[in-house]
Chain A
Amino acid sequence: MVFDEAFDVIVIGGGHAGCEAASAAGRLGAQTALITLNLDLIGQMSCNPAIGGIAKGHLVREIDALGGIMGRVADRTGIQFRLLNRSRGPAVQSPRAQTDRSLYRAEMRKVLEHTPNLDLRQGMVTDLLVKDSKIRGVEMQDGRRIAAGAVVIAAGTFLNGLIHTGQRTYTAGRAGEPASIELAETLKRLGFPVGRLKTGTPPRLDGRTIDWSAFQPQEADDRPVPFSFSTDSIEQPQLKCYVGYTNRSLHDSIRENLNQSPLYSGRIKGIGPRYCPSIEDKVVKFADKERHQLFLEPEGHNTNEVYLNGFSTSLPAGIQQDLVRMIPGLEEVRIIRPGYAIEYDYVDPRELRPDLQCQRISGLFHAGQVNGTTGYEEAACQGLVAGINAAALVRGMKPFRLSREQSYIGVLIDDLIKQGVDEPYRIFTSRAECRLALRYDNADQRLRRYGRELGLVGDVDWERFNHRQSRIVEVKGLLKGVRLRKADAGYLAAVERTGSDLGESITLADLALRPGVTSEMLKQLLPLPSRERATLSELEAALADNLYAGYIRVQDVVVRRLRHHDTTPIPEGLDFRTLNGLSHEMVERLERTRPQTFGEARAIPGLTAAALSTLYIAATLNP
């Protein structure tokens, strides 16, 4: 084959998965090209202008701990930071930020342009060049051929994208951008099992036509919690969001127009996410609900555009404005961009290995919506893992993978490759068995060292991490060692605050478990110089460990019981056909999945207990 150019790694797509993949591969020393349809739309947030949220914020922290870029970019462009679930324990708290959509794009492009070994290319990839089940490169629409040892597909909703508004449909990757038809056909031709998913987006409003007084403002936090462990402070001025509600008469009107909705006329075949229903779904499936909550979210500092979160719709563009105007405060509103639904192809993620490489074609990686996920954060973390492993492959290093016990990223990838998806997959904290141990506050403690070993975490960040850890250890010691005594200055205030008897004296660790005790209050009780030295965030990390210590042990026992054989590896070259007593069907299932550990074998649907026993013995006898 003749090639016009050659790289180590090619990343197809400049969305959240593609950006992380390209950045990681380049920084790991692989000559990398990011190919995207429009360089001006790198890092585009195609849905709501926000990063993070419960469990998603955990993912961003983990990406950052490993040396990814999403957290830093979000910190520089976030215009409303909130730590969600503040009233609950730290394990289920998570940072979230509204971001300035155009600033985010600009910042992301700047970061990529400063990434070593990374070239940006505009164009459309139409074909994958494969020889002997190995990826060789890609072919572009304009005929150029680019060689690569590894290719990451991060094409988002562009694969066979089809937009619906009312009864109208047109092919597109996002509103105003062309779909990737040929690449989708290539994947089918290569034999990948391809399915169809659907997602939707609400209309964007002209902020000048909104009566803001009709909505309840929602303020940013006084003390913004950044995503990145490298961020000292949030510099962007903070804005408000606004909360409003739909009403009965609007619901009636939506129901009257259902015959025009492609969702209800059967035109949309793809499966949409249950946790992100369109407004049509909401009024039909929860018909007795008086009102549905809506959020008005600013799109940025330099625009009037407002995102109407909670009103995702595929009703005809023409009637969306009439419907939206039935919401109190939006009587005069004008829609700038109508909402729409989009159907797209995804590839069954059970095709992948834990390093996100396809079993079918070596050197080909899939990340993001192509794997059936939804969400920027879900996409970004897969991009990071795929980018790391693409670079690892071409540089002859061993694959990088994370377990369910140590990260949400591990939970997500494990769920994808074992269970597959039947609706767009989103991360939730309840998907993690070890929820109390996988916290936003300790993502660095869990993962920073991997980032360092890989080479994605620089000296400054590494030193910063070590300092933070040593201060957390120091504070933990003080919490256990320092007692608040009756004679001490803070004692009476503490009794008042907790409303309980504290006895002659109490350790700060025990005091922390009493209701009503805040981290600010505890910080004042720490002795100098630790009081001055440790940050509130470090104290909170120490407190979280203190709070959950006993429960994490209970959780560990449950997890161990579930998987006491799961880490036993299955030898790479084991020929399942040579095992006595395995039926043809069992062999086929095993060969399709090629489990690497006994735990993965256990998760194969339809594998019998007898087959597992046979496999277990074979695995333990041929290490």
Chain B
Amino acid sequence: MDTIVAIATSPGRSAIGVIRLSGPDSLRILRGLIHDELFKPEPNHVVLKQIVRESGEPLDSALVTYFEEPRSFTGEEMIELSCHGSPVILRRVLDLTLTLGARLAEPGEFTLRACKNGKMNLSQAEAIRDLINAQTDAAAAQAARQLKGELAVALQPAKEILIKIIVRLESALEFVEEDLPRIQWQQIENELNQVLGIVEGLGRTFGIGRALRDGLKVAIVGRPNVGKSSLFNKLAGRDRAIVTEIAGTTRDSISESIILRGIPISLTDTAGIRIANDSIEEIGIERTHEAMADADLLVVVIDGSTSLAEEDLRIIAQAIRNRHVVAINKCDLVSNAEIDNRLYPSSTVVHLSALTGLGLDELVAAILTPFGDVDSEAIGLLITDSRHYDLLQRTKLSLETSLELFGRSASEEIVLVGLHSALQYLGQITGETTTDDILGEIFSTFCIGK
């Protein structure tokens, strides 16, 4: 039995968002999420746990509840994660569970499992059956849309090439005594790489596609009085934050929804980080750290008119583990070449003036670039659905396995395992290809028959 996962709360921003896992691997996946292989939760008790990215950085802290089989909603081992209700965070956590081996649940699948395990009686089940029907109808409608949808069209060439390759390899296996043309291995390898290229290209749009749908969180950080609030106001297009000469003017984080090149962005101005002078500032700085943890990208602002302070370096060192851009402000005043030399080579650096707006376009580009090709709007097709992304990644993996086996001159039936799974994954987006379709293709391509 697979372990299934889904976001249980409705889409959109909310105070908390719940992710549910059900199946025999639930606890194992939880241990992976919190990077604690030995974690032994007590059933039906709520504990606070840090969910950690693959890289080891914290992603979110969540309330975790473990339900032992069979005493759960589905009757299977289950985990409920109450995360912070940001769609971005929920999506990230969901993606992590997928990489740890969970499968996205189909509509109504939790209820089906509950019925199957006798957790629900007839009247209860009949009451929710209407719900399931509705969901499945919607799923069917969605599948129909996909069938004639843009994504299917974009994947069609990849699928056709893949079928052509399968047809040639299958014919060689099934009709060994026939007078068939020799298999051109080099050509097949090139074609496989072509398919892989299409699949990878579409997969790469997922970052920007997801950003387009869920939005990005960008936080402006830095030590006090480097011009964070000025930059915030410039990007927001209005004087939202109070700007003064006095260091530490911004006491609390404030956020503003803006749109940069079509991408919705929640922009947060934070209190400058330093040793706090009073308890209000202390709370403000704490919130800055929270905002930093929550952000998809940090803009670290540095005052370019003075030399680099210890505080600056500490903040950059903190940001370096996250996606970040270093914005060297006040380039209208004076430029200090020495600063650039002391920054990390991996940081993206932009010189700008929050006052005049000089360099602002470069900053916007630098903010969006890590999420994919911003010009992909020109392509028009973006992967926004993590189910599609999941399928494309699986397709890619299967193709890569087959390519590697090709390199080792493995026999056709082994190479074909990966090709058939790739075709099946693609088929979940574009519509199924049956064995009969492939056999039909063989018979119309080659003259078979003793």
Contact = CB atoms under 8 A, between A and B. Distances in A.
Interface in B190-216: none
B413 A89 contact: yes
Contacts of B173: 54, 85, 88, 92, 429-430
Interface stretch (B62-70, B131-139, B327-335): B131-139
A613 B449 contact: no
Interface stretch (B12-20, B228-236, B417-425): B417-425
B450 interface: yes
For A277, A551, A614, which residue has the most chain B Cβ atoms within 10 angstroms? Answer: A551
Interface stretch (A361-369, A482-490, A615-623): A615-623
B447 A277 contact: yes
Given A428-B439, A429-B174, A609-B136, A436 B449 contact: no
Nearest to B420: A558
Interface string B407-450: 00101111001101100100000000001101110011001111
Contacts of B140: 608-610
A554 B422 CA distance: 12
B178 interface: yes
A55 B174 contact: yes
A425 to B, nearest CB: 10
Nearest to B108: A613
A568 B420 CA distance: 26
For A275, A276, A565, which residue has the most chain B Cβ atoms within 10 angstroms? Answer: A275
B417 A613 contact: no
Nearest to B117: A620
B47 to A, nearest CB: 31
B36 interface: no
B352 to A, nearest CB: 50
Given A276-B450, A436-B413, A580 B126 contact: yes
Interface residues of B, number: 47
A616 to B, nearest CB: 6
For B103, B130, B133, B418, which residue has the most chain A Cβ atoms within 10 angstroms? Answer: B133
A314 to B, nearest CB: 15
A84 B108 CA distance: 48
Contact of B116 (A275, A285, A612, A620): A620
B125 interface: yes
B116 A555 contact: no
A398 interface: no
For B178, B444, B449, which residue has the most chain A Cβ atoms within 10 angstroms? Answer: B449
A614 B125 CA distance: 10
Contacts of A609: 136-137, 139-140
Contacts of B417: 436, 551, 554-555
B95 to A, nearest CB: 19
Given A286-B447, A430-B438, A89 B136 contact: no
B413 A610 contact: no
A613 B132 contact: yes
Contacts of B418: 554
Contact of A92 (B409, B412, B439): B412
Interface in B269-284: none
B447 A92 contact: no
A435 interface: yes
A551 B436 CA distance: 23
Contacts, number: 128
A92 B173 CA distance: 7
Contacts of B424: 558, 562
A285 to B, nearest CB: 7
B409 A515 contact: yes
Interface string A26-50: 0000000000000000000000100
A620 B115 contact: yes
Contact of A551 (B170, B178, B412, B414): B414
Interface stretch (A289-297, A462-470, A523-531): A289-297
A610 B116 contact: no
A419 B436 CA distance: 10
B185 to A, nearest CB: 14
A282 interface: yes
Interface in A181-207: none
Contacts of B175: 54, 275
A89 B447 contact: no
Interface string B126-162: 1001101100110110000000000000000000000
A157 B137 CA distance: 45
Interface string A49-64: 0000011000000000
A89 B122 contact: no
B129 A84 contact: no
Nearest to A610: B133
A431 interface: yes
B443 A613 contact: no
A91 B173 CA distance: 10
A275 B413 contact: no
A554 B132 CA distance: 31
A310 B450 contact: yes
Contact of B411 (A88, A428, A612): A88
Interface in B63-87: none
Contact of B448 (A275, A436, A581, A612): A275
A554 B179 contact: no
B212 to A, nearest CB: 29
Interface in A557-586: 558, 560-562, 564-565, 568, 580-581
A285 B447 contact: yes
B404 interface: no
A169 interface: no
A277 B136 CA distance: 44
Contacts of B126: 580
A616 B112 contact: yes
Nearest to B177: A84
Given A286-B447, A613-B108, A88 B435 contact: no
A436 B410 CA distance: 14
Nearest to A286: B447
B379 interface: no
Given A54-B176, A610-B133, A89 B411 contact: yes
Interface in A426-478: 428-431, 435-436
A274 interface: yes
Contacts of A548: 414
A430 to B, nearest CB: 5
A443 B420 CA distance: 24
A309 interface: yes
A279 to B, nearest CB: 10
Contacts of A273: 449
B207 to A, nearest CB: 26
A137 B436 CA distance: 38
B131 to A, nearest CB: 10
Contacts of B179: 245, 291-293
B132 A310 contact: no
A428 B440 CA distance: 12
Contact of B174 (A309, A428, A551): A428
A277 B438 CA distance: 18
Contacts of A292: 179, 447
Contacts of A430: 170, 173-174, 435, 438-439
B1 interface: yes
A201 to B, nearest CB: 12
A517 B281 CA distance: 74
Given A564-B2, A609-B137, A617-B125, A435 B413 contact: yes
Interface string B1-36: 110000000000000000000000000000000000
B422 to A, nearest CB: 10
For B136, B409, B450, which residue has the most chain A Cβ atoms within 10 angstroms? Answer: B450
A555 B414 CA distance: 10
11 contacts: A54-B174, A88-B173, A92-B411, A274-B440, A275-B175, A295-B450, A428-B435, A429-B174, A554-B418, A564-B1, A568-B116
3 A-B pairs with the lowest CB-CB distances in the bound complex, closest first:
A274-B443, A286-B447, A293-B179
Given A88-B173, A613-B108, A621-B122, 6 more contacts: A55-B174, A275-B448, A292-B447, A561-B2, A610-B137, A613-B136
